[in-house]
Homo-oligomer: A and B are copies of this chain.
Amino acid sequence: MALFLSTFTNKVDQKGRVSVPASFRAELSEESFQGVVLFRSNVHQCLEGFAWSYMQEIGKRLDNFDLFSAEQDDLATSIFGTAVQLPLDGDGRIILPADLISFCDLKEKASFVGMGAKFQIWNPQSFEQRRDTARQAVQSKGLTIPKSTGGER
């Protein structure tokens, strides 16, 4: 599974092109589709980014809901209905659609934030605030990484 790490801030040019960080591209190198899947976050003013194979995993998890249930319908609509599949060009860039750029208020630069299996794309200033609130939440709630669940070793 891909493991996206660290934060990289790259420039968005007039054409809406932005370089995907080289280390992220390395994580995608084994994928059948050379590119990323993006959709609007339901929580933040940012974009959620995934490798193609992980979208299949999300599909499986959605199967845990009853088919035609309201929850399944809402989630599937907000995720799959709005997702875009963006191929990498020869130089490792993607073209961000204008509506996604305006959704997360991107100006000159975009921050790619590694979050393990997925990543997010933020306006750099907005992400600084988000990073601070996330750290405070971890400290105040005493969040920790749980031990691996279940019977495996």
A-side residues, CB < 8 A to B, are: 1, 3-7, 23, 37, 41-43, 48, 55-64, 67-68, 70-71, 73-85, 113-118, 130-131, 134-135, 137-139, 141, 143, 145-149
- Residue contact B80 to A42, C-beta cutoff 8 Å: no
- Residue contact B114 to A5, C-beta cutoff 8 Å: no
Q: Which of B41, B62, B74 is A134 in contact with, Cβ under 8 Å?
A: B74
- Residue contact A134 to B77, C-beta cutoff 8 Å: yes
How long is the Cα–Cα vector from A36 to B141 in the complex, in angstroms?
Answer: 28
Q: Which residues of the other chain, B, contact A79 by a CB distance below 8 angstroms?
A: 145
- Residue contact B62 to A58, C-beta cutoff 8 Å: no
- Residue contact A117 to B71, C-beta cutoff 8 Å: no
